Amino acid sequence: MPRIVVTGIRDIDRKLRALGPKVANRVVRRALRNAAKMVRAEVQANAPEGEARDLVRSVKVRAGKRSRNKISMQVGYDKSNFTNPKFVPAFVEYGTSRQPAQGFMRRAYEGKQDAARRQVEAEIRRGVEEAAR
């Protein structure tokens, strides 16, 4: 899945550093989670009809792998809902020799990428202002 990267907003960067790492991480995580929820809603709206519709209930927002320099959120499938979790969502998304590709995850991401980026920036700005009070 492609990634949205928010960097280079110097005024926000300085203000986040001034808040301290714990508060800054909380502000950024909240903003990323809300943007990921917006993408998840678009995925659910674009989901194909029929049996593949069961995939909609499986779409979750999760925190990505932690690192000292990176905070991430992922929109993906809850693997516990499938008997063979590796392949079922991929078959629907990318297709097989017997089934055409649906591509609804990619369409959702591409359709909401810019809006999600703007939302993350706005929520980080709002969070920084609230935390600074």
What's the pLDDT score for residue 1?
44
Q: CB count, 10 Å around CB of 129?
A: 11
Angle between helices 104-132 and 10-19 (to 10 degrees): 60
Burial 65-98 (b: 16+ CB within 10 A, else e): eeeeeebbbebbbeeeeeeeeeebbeebbeeeee
H or E element that contains 31? helix 21-46
Q: Is the pLDDT of residue 4 over 70?
A: no
Asked whether the whole model's pTM tops 0.85, one would answer no
Average pLDDT over residues 74-103: 77
Do 82 and 58 form a contact (C-beta atoms < 8 A)?
A: yes
The SS3 call for residue 105 is: helix
Q: What is the pLDDT of residues 48-68, one digit of tens each?
A: 776 666 677 778 898 888 787
| pLDDT tens string 15-28 | 887 888 888 889 98
Cα–Cα distances in angstroms (integers) from residue 97 to residues 19, 50, 54, 83, 91, in the given order: 53, 19, 21, 21, 10
Tens of pLDDT, residue by residue over 35-46, are 999 999 998 888
Residue listed under structure tokens 């659910």: 44
